[in-house]
Homo-oligomer: A and B are copies of this chain.
Amino acid sequence: MAQQASDNTMLIDALFDIFRNHGYEGTTISLLSEVTGLQKSSLYHHFPAGKEDMLKAVVGYVSLQIHQNIIAPLLNTQSKPEKRFSNMIATIKAFYNDGRKNCLLNVLNLGEAKAEIKKLQNDDYCAWLDALTQLSIEVGISQQEATEWAERFLIVIEGALVIQRLTSNKQVFEKQMEYEQKQFHKFLNQ
């Protein structure tokens, strides 16, 4: 398990980048060793339970990022909803490097094994969904419409990442994010 987060952040960030590029099965200890510059056994020192442990640490790290950088700011009623939304878009763009980086969600194919990790991801998804729903309700949308809009927003993120990965058209993701911006502004002016 990865304690002392402060020291290990860079390490986990490197692991994160590999897992999102190669998926779980496609990620090998050798590759992790190569990229981090640590020998395999050193990696096992940090993560005694091996690869799955490393993934857990990564997912936990991403979870933290989502809560701190996306969900908390979304719920912070001190700034205007439109500002919070556009800040989120900016954060997302950076997080996915304008669509050039994958989302762990669509690259990990976690079956019934690894249910624990899947649960973590699902919780994050739900929290994000709730925050978005909140925000749009705040702007005057009905509960019903708000939930549907929020769900579709997250669906579009995932879908755009998948399609951009396929087409190597570097604009797919950004275009969708712009579209979502416009949609949100329509909400404001209703």
Chain A residues in the interface with B (C-beta under 8 A): 21-26, 102-103, 105-107, 109, 111, 118, 121-122, 125-126, 148, 151-152, 154-160, 162-163, 165-168, 172, 175-176, 179
**Cβ–Cβ contact A125 & B163, under 8 A:** yes
Residue numbers in B under 8 Å from A157 (CB-CB):
159
Q: 16 A–B contact pairs at CB < 8 A?
A: A22-B25, A24-B26, A25-B25, A26-B109, A102-B109, A106-B106, A122-B166, A122-B168, A151-B175, A154-B159, A155-B163, A156-B156, A156-B159, A158-B162, A158-B163, A159-B162
**Cβ–Cβ contact B163 & A109, under 8 A:** no
**Cβ–Cβ contact A160 & B155, under 8 A:** yes
